[in-house]
Every structure is written in C-alpha cells, then in structure tokens.
Amino acid sequence: MEILYLLLPLSLAIVALIGALLWWAVFSGQYDEVEQAGLSILHDNDRTFI
Amino acid sequence: MKPRSHPRLNSHTAASIVVTQLVARRRQELARLGLAWLAMMQVMMFALPGYLRHEAGGQDSLEVLDWAIVLMNWASLTLTIPVILYSAWPVWLGCAHAYSSKRITMDVPVGLSLLAAFIPSVWATLKASGDVYFDSITMFVAFLLTARFVEQRASRAQGCASTQTSLKNPRASSGGGAGSQESLVSFGVSLLAQANRVATVFVMIQLMLVAVLGAVWWVIEPAQAWCVLVSLLVMSCPCALSLAAPVSLAVLHQHLALVEPLPAQVREALLLRTLRVTRQNLYGALAWHVLTMPLAAIGWVTPWLAALSMLLSSVAVVLNACRLSRSRQTVLSLSIKALAQNQPLQT
C-alpha cells in the first residue's frame, strides 16, 4: 500500500495539469463562440464557386 | 464573441468595451465551473475509502483503510481549497454584499453551508479522525455554479434577444409599437421581481428552520447533528427558484425574435404561457423543497445527496422551460393563421 505515496501526488499532479490546460483553453478564447462554428456553414460565401 | 464579428457594436467604443467585459466575465465563470467539476470528480475518487469504511471487515484491514483515509483526506483538502477560494468566490462576494446591504440573498445559505462543511472537515483532516465532507463541498459548488451558469446564459440570451428585436423592428420603439415593447420589458421585470420575492421569503424561512432543526438534533443526537445541519443548509439553496424566471424569459424572447411583429393574440397567449410555466417552475421547485426537507430533517439525506437533489430540481426547471421552446412550431402556425384572418380586415 506504500504505492499510495506515489499515486496520490501523481493524481494531484495530473489534476493540476488538466486544470492548467483548461485554464489555457478558456482564457485563450476556445469556448467563446461554441455555437458559431456550427452556423458558419450557413454564413459561407458561395459566390466564388458559381 | 470577438468584437470583430459585430461591426454594429464595434462602431460604438462603449458597446465594444461592454462586450469585452462580458467575454472576460464569461471566461472567468467557465474557468470557475471547470475547476469545480474537475476537483469534484477527483475528490469523489479520494472519498471512496471513506465510503468503504462502514463495510470494513477485519481489524487489520480497518487499520490499513484508516491510514489510506488520512492520506486521501489530505489530497482532498488540497483540491478543495482552490474550489473554496476560486470557484466559490462569487458566493463570498455575494455574502459580503448581503452583509453590507443587510439583505438576505441566496448566497447566505450557500456560504453558511460551505463553511459548516469545510471547517469541521479541515479539523478532522488535521486531527486524522472524524468524517470529512470534501466530496459534498466540491459537488455542491460544481452543481451550484452549473445552475448559475445556465441562469446567466439565459438572462444574457434574453438581453441579446430584446436588443435584437428592438433593432430589427425600430417601429416598435417609436409610434404604436412602443407600448408593446415597454409592456414586454415590464412583464419581464415584474416576473423577475415576483420570483425574487418568493426566493427571499423561502431562504428566510429555510434558515430559521435549519437553525431550529439543528438545535433539536444537537440535543437528541450530537454525533449526527453536524451532518444533518450541512445537508439541511445545502437543501436550503434555492437554485431552482432563481432559475425559474430567467430561463422562461429567455425562451420567450427567442420566440419574439423569431417572428416579429407577432400578432397581438399570439403574443398574449405566449405571455400567458410563459407566466404559467414560470409559476409551474417556481411552485414546483418549492414543492420539491417542501417534500425533501422532512427527509433531510430526520437525517435520511446525506450532504452529497442534498447536492444531487439540488441539481435535479434545477435540471427539471430548465427542461420544463424548454417545453416552451418546443411550442415554436405552434407559435409559427398560430401567427400565420392570425395574419391570414387579419388580412381581409386590413384591405
């Protein structure tokens, strides 16, 4: 059971890593326009193809 | 939202500043929410030995389990501190505001229950004995922030929709349409005020009840009293009540943005429907609280179960408001009918 001394800090480190990734994703604007990507096909400019 | 995608707003510097602030706030909310959910999932893993302890067999396995629980408690504490300090920050701000303005808001029972759960848990961790509620705390914060995030989104969507309708239909702000636009705004304001009044009275009654029940438990069975008190405080959070009005108003504005101008009778029907759904949500959430409170009062509801019950009632409120959204087809067909009926009269 001494393995817990390794596993617990490891799990905390992984949580911290995921937290940091989430932080970066949120504050670099990844979630700012979640609906926009789905609608973008409707706002597409078709004229260049005709 | 990048300001670039809104040329109309970009031309006004003030408006673009507002948009930037809104984006920053939304990002902040999302980060708080994400942290709370992340910590919640991990803390629940750490809480597992604590759950198992009640079913432990031999003496030596119990010793190993207790050793593991102490370690897990420290890990849970490490994760709960950022949740309390960062994710729950709006709650502390709200409590400070409530204190300075001498008015009871929803944040008061939330803050109280967080403190009531957190302080004994820290004490138990330091002493290496006793129950901890870190799983309940992180769950509560995560669910509460989820409910608030939905509420914020709903009221913001409502704000956007109402500016869109007034932009799309400038006649509404001048001449004959002005009355209807104003009546809509006042309808929203009165609905929100009504819901707020219900929530405030509810919180006050609930807090008094919690104090009385806590005292009774303290006299009868002090060992259980704290756990019951925490779950009662968690249950007294009126998340579902505060969601009721903004969500249905947001759905109403979606309709209004869809077909503008709406024929008068369809509009009236829609307002009535919104009022009905909001009342259903308000009183449904109240009934849920009234039904579940006795269960918590006799000690059947653990803190994490209380947090789950809060989430369930909030989800039910949102789903009920979405029923309004599903009647979009009906609104369209009704307005077409009404227009067809009005046509011969106008010509």
Out of B1, B30, B71, whose CB is closest to A4?
B71
Whether chain A has a CB inside 8 Å of the CB on B72: the answer is yes
Asked if residue B6 belongs to a domain, the reply is no
Minimal C-alpha gap between A47 and chain B (Å):
20
Asked if residue B2 belongs to a domain, the reply is no
Whether chain A has a CB inside 8 Å of the CB on B17: the answer is no
- Reported ipTM: the value is 0.83
Asked if residue B130 belongs to a domain, the reply is yes
Q: What pLDDT, in 10s, does the model give residues B34-92?
A: 999 999 999 998 988 888 777 766 777 788 888 889 999 999 999 999 999 999 999 99
CA distances, B331 to each of B20, B191, B259, B260, B324 (Å): 35, 21, 9, 12, 10
Asked if residue B73 belongs to a domain, the reply is yes
Asked if residue B173 belongs to a domain, the reply is no
Contact between B330 and B256 under an 8 Å Cβ cutoff? The reply is no
Closest alpha carbon to A17 in A29, A25, A6: A25
Minimal C-alpha gap between A45 and chain B (Å):
15
- Cβ contacts of A33 on chain B, cutoff 8 Å: 1-2, 5
- Cβ contacts of A12 on chain B, cutoff 8 Å: 75, 78-79
Mean pLDDT of B177-191: 68
- Cβ contacts of A15 on chain B, cutoff 8 Å: 38-39, 42, 79
- Give residues with Cβ within 8 angstroms of B212, minimum separation 6: none
Asked if residue B313 belongs to a domain, the reply is yes
Asked if residue B4 belongs to a domain, the reply is no
Whether chain A has a CB inside 8 Å of the CB on B79: the answer is yes
Q: What pLDDT, in 10s, does the model give residues B314-347?
A: 888 888 887 776 666 666 676 777 667 665 544 4
Using CA coordinates, name the residue in chain A closest to B72: A8
Asked if residue B7 belongs to a domain, the reply is no
Domain residues for B326? Answer: 13-168+178-346
Does B178 score more than 50 pLDDT? no
Verify whether the Cβ–Cβ distance A29 to B38 is below 8 Å: no
Q: How many domains does chain B contain in total? A: 1
